[in-house]
Amino acid sequence: MSSGARNLNGGSVVAGDGKSRQFIMAGLTLGLLLASLDQTVVGTSLPKIVGDLGGLDRFSWLFSAYMLAATIMIPMAGKMSDRYGRRPVFLLGMVFFLSGSALSGLAQDMNQLIIFRFFQGFGGGAMFPVAVATVADLYAPSERGKMQGALGAVFALASIIGPFVGGWIVDNIDWRWVFYVNLPFGAAAIVVTSVKFPRVDVDAREPVDYLGIALLTAALSAGLLITFWGGTTYDWASIEILSLGAACVLLSVAFIYVETTAPDPMLPLSLFREPVFALSSLSLMVMVMGLLGIVAFLPLFLQAVIGISATYSGELLVPLMLTSMLGAIVSGLMLKKTGYKIWILGGPLITALGLYLLSTLHSGSDTLEAVAYLLIAGLGLGFTMANYVVAGQNVVSKEMMGVASSTLTLFRTLGGTIGVTVLGVVVNRRFSAELSGNMPTGWEGLESQDMSTLGNLLLSAEGAAFPPEVIEGIRTALSESITFTFLVSAFVVLGAFAVTTLIKNVPLKSREEQEDERRSAGIPDMADGGIHE
């Protein structure tokens, strides 16, 4: 048996009877819903948290700490689940997440809360890739689309209800219950996964790639800190950002070298020799990079340019998530008949159309226009995200399914982080150019040219102190810069389409083919024990 291969005497993880698999999926879904909600409910709690704990200058780290920890954990969790089984890694992730939740609710100052959010991030980062890999264990590729689509719908649902749940808790109970509410539901998820989650015996004879883990962690940390600090805490040309950039490059090169020599590498580079997997990972990353233009900048546009309230602007993102859920479910149900290629080709084109239409909005646009365009963009999103994962998993051997799933998840996460950073630079530079061209001649009364600062000026009473032509100049500059960014996002998504055209349409494996593959790899088939069909 190869290094790290699993002896499934304790239970097969390929498939089982319908009720057992549904029970396992219920536990996975509940855990993922909690982790997904935790990224959205905190935002509406920030005013109360800052008012209670102070530390306004550090509040952004409530998000950054979670994201940093989750991103670091994602590749480790996938690899460890291949070596030691999905069950212990998922349960350990739940324990970290719930411990971080309980401690966050008990935090007495902002520094403590940031540290405890870091613990939560470790847990969330462990659960996501293991859940994706477990779906691949339980369902053959020909059956997998609808389940991966269901997991995608969980993320969309969390984005829709998270702000409302957080707002209700803060208004009616206390901000600490934003974290405490995770505990009973998380305990239920642990019970479900402890009872029915497939048990796996392992034969991991090769040493753990600790050096690879350390190098990848350091490289990811340096890269993420660039996105967190660049252009805000430090100037892009500052010695701090340049040093982090150099460190990220050097650490990445060292990591790649180590992975070529490690007996059981943290991230087997052989994965990227498979064109379908490599191209699916790249397409997924580019697709998410483009989509962040909507999530990051549309609320400010709706509030400051069109004049919608903050609450209503948040609600207008719901159509994006609803059609994303619809697209994921529909494509998942039809995947067995159609294959994945039609969806991952059509999805980027539909999303790019929605982004282009959003770029035509202006101060006189009606909210129904924005809703219609968001419906289009969301549908394309739903068609693609889960199906890139299915395409990548379909060409990967079973013994590498965990690390493959975590790599796809990592590329998606990095796409979001890079997208926010790059599009943020684009929109701010465009705003500076538009501002200089739209301000009244000779006006020099603006102390700042920061887009967020001046955008908030349009929303506050302080704006009344400025001449109407100045306010209109700021509004026009804001409108032109954000809609330009939507247009850039459309071209980025078309880049994902261009990459996708190179992805070969490999037929999805049936359950019988997957069983044959398992036996050829020395992994016992379902008749040897476990959850039976």
Of 122, 67, 114, which is closest to residue 97 (Cα–Cα)? 122
Query: Does residue 14 carry a pLDDT above 60?
Result: no
The answer on 288 and 154 residing in a single domain is no
Residue at 292 is within a domain: yes
Note the pLDDT tens digit of each residue in 26-82: 778 888 887 777 777 776 677 778 778 887 677 778 888 888 898 899 999 988 888
Q: What share of the chain is helix, strand, coil (3-state, %, to 5)?
A: 80, 0, 20
Q: What is the mean pLDDT of residues 106-122?
A: 90
Q: What is the mean pLDDT of residues 255-273?
A: 91
| CATH number where 482 lies | 1.20.1250.20
Residue at 330 is within a domain: yes
The answer on 434 and 325 residing in a single domain is yes
The answer on 124 and 113 residing in a single domain is yes
The answer on 63 and 7 residing in a single domain is yes
The answer on 113 and 160 residing in a single domain is yes
**445 confidence band (pLDDT: 50, 70, 90):** low
Query: Does residue 84 carry a pLDDT above 70?
Result: yes
Of 221, 222, 256, 228, which is closest to residue 242 (Cα–Cα)? 222
Query: Does residue 248 carry a pLDDT above 90?
Result: yes
Tell me how far apart the alpha carbons of residues 481 and 494 are, in angstroms, rounded to a whole number: 20
Contact 505, 340 (CB under 8 A): yes
Residue at 314 is within a domain: yes
The residues near 65 (Cβ < 8 Å, ≥ 6 apart) are 114, 115, 117, 118, 121
User: For the ranges 36-45, 77-86, 251-260, 379-388, which has the lowest average pLDDT?
Assistant: 36-45
**532 confidence band (pLDDT: 50, 70, 90):** very low
The answer on 161 and 108 residing in a single domain is yes
Q: What is the mean pLDDT of residues 392-400?
A: 86
Q: What is the mean pLDDT of residues 228-248?
A: 90
pLDDT of residue 6: 44
Residue at 36 is within a domain: yes
**212 confidence band (pLDDT: 50, 70, 90):** very high
Residue at 56 is within a domain: yes
Residue at 520 is within a domain: no
Contact 277, 396 (CB under 8 A): yes
What domain range is 97 assigned to? 1-208
Note the pLDDT tens digit of each residue in 457-488: 776 667 677 778 888 888 888 889 999 999 99
Query: Does residue 4 carry a pLDDT above 60?
Result: no
The answer on 224 and 172 residing in a single domain is no
pLDDT of residue 402: 87
The answer on 295 and 322 residing in a single domain is yes
Tell me how far apart the alpha carbons of residues 327 and 329 are, in angstroms, rounded to a whole number: 6
Token pair 């969301």 in the structure block, residue? 378
Q: Of 226, 261, 296, at which residue does a domain stop? A: 261
Q: What is the mean pLDDT of residues 284-307?
A: 83
Tell me how far apart the alpha carbons of residues 23 and 26 are, in angstroms, rounded to a whole number: 5
The answer on 142 and 102 residing in a single domain is yes
Contact 382, 496 (CB under 8 A): no
The answer on 501 and 401 residing in a single domain is yes
How many domains does the chain divide into? Answer: 3
Query: Does residue 262 carry a pLDDT above 60?
Result: yes
Token pair 């969390």 in the structure block, residue? 158
The answer on 189 and 222 residing in a single domain is no
pLDDT of residue 205: 67
Residue at 394 is within a domain: yes
The answer on 280 and 256 residing in a single domain is no
Note the pLDDT tens digit of each residue in 168-181: 887 788 888 888 88
Per-residue buried b or exposed e for 375-412, using 16+ beta carbons within 10 Å of the residue's own CB: bbbbbbbbbbbbbbbbbbbbbbbbbbbbbbbbbbbbbb
Residue at 422 is within a domain: yes
